[in-house]
Amino acid sequence: MTIECRIFNEIGQKRYIQLLQSKPVDLVEQVSHLCSLNEFTVGLGVNIELPPFVSRGDLAHHIDDWFESNPTKISYAGSSLFWDWIAGSWMKTLVMADPRYVNIGTIALPQAAKIVGSEYQRWALTEGTTHYHRHLVSNPYFSLVANRDNEKGALCLLESNVCEPGEVVERIAGTSKFNSGSVCQLATLLYVDLSTGKRRSKFSVSPGNPKAFSYYFGQIDLTVDYKSMTVDQLLDLLPSNFESRVALARADLDTLRRET
Amino acid sequence: MPKVFNYTDRVAIPKQCIISKTLVTEADEVYLEVAWDFSTLELPSDAVVTTEVSAIGTFRSVFFEHGLIGSAVLPKTRIRVTELRNPDLIKFRIKVTKKNAEGIPLIIADIDKVSPTLDKKWENGSSLLKRRKVDHLMVPWELQFELGVPVLCISGQKDLWYQLLNRAPWFDPIALTAIVETVFLWSLVEKAAPEDSEVFEQWKKYFISLGCSEEFYSRSFDSISLFGDEVNDIREMANLVASNFCHRFKFLELLSTICESDGNR
């Protein structure tokens, strides 16, 4: 679907958030309609294609390519009016592409409550929220941009499904100290199998799961400047409850280095 | 209350060692300007200093390595933070690190959650809003428009002028939020006289910084609009501006803290 790229005006954004909060049964249709109204949006004078994506990485690249083709629009990357319009306009396509809903087909969309989830911030990048990392459309793009120099290192933030980012994204993207650089690469090595590009089996099982990861780095935050450390140093630094995962991570790291 | 251990004899950097402010250039580039004097802290000259800047509601953070601490005095240094969403809400952390024998960078001094002084562009409107003591005023305060300029008049009776401005931390959260909304409505429907256009323009810029779009502001409203078909749009926008104003200065949190501490007395 190619449409004119627009942004919400402030009132349009407010209406959009009200819709997400009230979750009417025909939410998706109402959101699509709102996004198309001149009264609540402002055209940017360029088109944007909003194709179906399942992978966060594919979606991130698509938006990144669009900004590259439209360099004068890059300032909109900082605008919640832009991200909310994109999310609203893309909602139907992304939801229909989600493997959990694909069997439902085009006849009946899933219940609005399921799409929005318990937190409307998944579709609305509101100012001041501490849940901005949960925004399903902007977060993959920001994850890519923050790790542009080592995209493979950000696989933990990019490999999962757009509509269901999962626990690793929640733990790693949710803390600005973890979501880029060597700490992000460490999380990728621990929780993603680089040979398949997918999360390792039992990645969320204790010990050494993503919860333990964020607890550990939270604990040493006052003592060690881990942001400035290399991924090898960080692997050495991890405590023994990460032992089995560290072994897998080192093996993947060795393979990666041999390949490059 | 969680126990915080100090394994590295970490020094807490006193706030007064740091001077910081945000700067907004004509081209709307935003910088954090920071300077410090750590000479009294007796930190080793081969320690490394890093500044970590983040803002509420942003995914990105900015890391700036200043290099060796050297003489422990940093002249004014600018760190570009334009790419952070909400750069008016930035906070920063300064870390001084030194590697141990295993090469692990240990934090030997730090200070966190420092809020820089805001650029004038983001002040809370107090510099725009004149305040005047009116001895005969029979209500505690009142917004008046004198020669096309909004003025907050405060009663001079019962020592209220002094009490409200100096001893009532709840005054700004309660009074200013409503006043900002009223001034916004006034500025939308009033046509500024040439002699007041500068004040008018300053308010306009301020409301745009609070989320009102230029396009909305440039629409031609008049006093009839406040009762016509456009009333809902105007009210919604006024409410949005007031909400963002409240959010920017954390008035809800501030009021809640005041109420809590009053309740504990």
Residue-wise pLDDT tens digits, B170-185: 888 888 888 888 888 8
User: Are B8 and A173 inside 8 Å of each other by CB?
Assistant: no
| pLDDT for residue A78 is more than 90 | no
Residue with tokens 């003489």: B71
- Domain co-membership, A106 together with A233: no
Q: Which of A10, A127, A237 sits opposite B57 (nearest CB)?
A: A127
pLDDT score of A107 more than 50: no
Domain end among A146, A162, A177: A146
Report the candidate in B122, B125, B99, B98 with the shortest Cα–Cα distance to residue B110. Answer: B98
- The secondary structure of residue B172, as a DSSP letter, is I
B73-80, strands of its sheet edge to edge: B18-24, B30-37, B73-80
pLDDT at B193 > cutoff 70: no
User: Residues B50-107: pLDDT tens digits?
Assistant: 999 987 666 678 889 999 998 888 989 999 988 776 677 788 999 999 999 999 999 9
Strand, helix or coil for residue A49: strand
Lowest mean pLDDT among A64-68, A107-111, B140-144: A107-111
The answer, yes or no, to whether residue A128 has pLDDT greater than 70, is: no
Q: Is the pLDDT of residue A5 over 60?
A: yes
B120-177 pLDDT per residue, tens: 665 555 567 878 888 788 888 988 877 667 888 888 888 888 778 766 778 888 888 8
Q: What is the pTM of this model?
A: 0.71
| Six-digit token string for A204 | 């969320």
Give the model's pLDDT for residue A137: 94
- Domains for chain B: give ranges and CATH numbers: 11-120 (2.60.40), 130-264 (no CATH)
User: What is the number of structural domains in chain A?
Assistant: 2
Contacts of B212 in chain A (CB under 8 A): 10
How far CA A186 is from CA of A223, B122, B265, in Å, comes to 19, 39, 50
Tell me, what's the ipTM? 0.78
Domain extent at residue A132 = 1-146
Q: Which of A126, A146, A166 is the last residue of a domain?
A: A146
Asked if residue A183 and residue A133 are part of one domain, the reply reads no
What are the C-alpha distances in Å from A151 to residues A144, A214, B13? 7, 21, 36
What's the pLDDT tens digit per position in B42-57? 999 999 999 999 876 6
A175 CB near a chain B CB, below 8 Å? no
Q: For the beta carbon of residue A19, count every other beta carbon within 10 angstroms.
A: 23
- Backbone phi, then psi, for B106, in 5-degree steps? -90, 145
A225 vs B58, B61, B95: nearest CB: B95
Lowest mean pLDDT among A86-95, B152-161, B189-198, B220-229: B189-198
Phi, psi of B213 (to 5 degrees): -80, 155
Record the tokens describing residue B133, joined without a space: 């003591």
Are A102 and A220 within one domain?
no
Is A227's Cβ below 8 Å from some Cβ in B? yes
CB neighbours (10 Å) of residue B99?
15
AA letter at B213: S
Interchain CB contact of A149 with B (< 8 Å):
no
Note whether A139 and A235 are same-domain residues: no
Is the CB of A39 inside 8 Å of chain B's CB atoms? Answer: no
8 Å CB contact between B23 and B34: no
> Mean pLDDT lowest for which of A174-188, A206-220, B124-138?
B124-138
What is the Cα–Cα distance from A14 to A28, expressed in whole angstroms?
A: 16
B11 touches chain A (CB under 8 A): no
3-state secondary structure of A128: coil
Element (H, E) at A93: helix A80-97
Task: Please list every residue in chain B whose beta carbon sits closer than 8 Å to the beta carbon of residue A179.
Answer: 59
CA B139 to chain A, closest CA, distance in angstroms equals 35
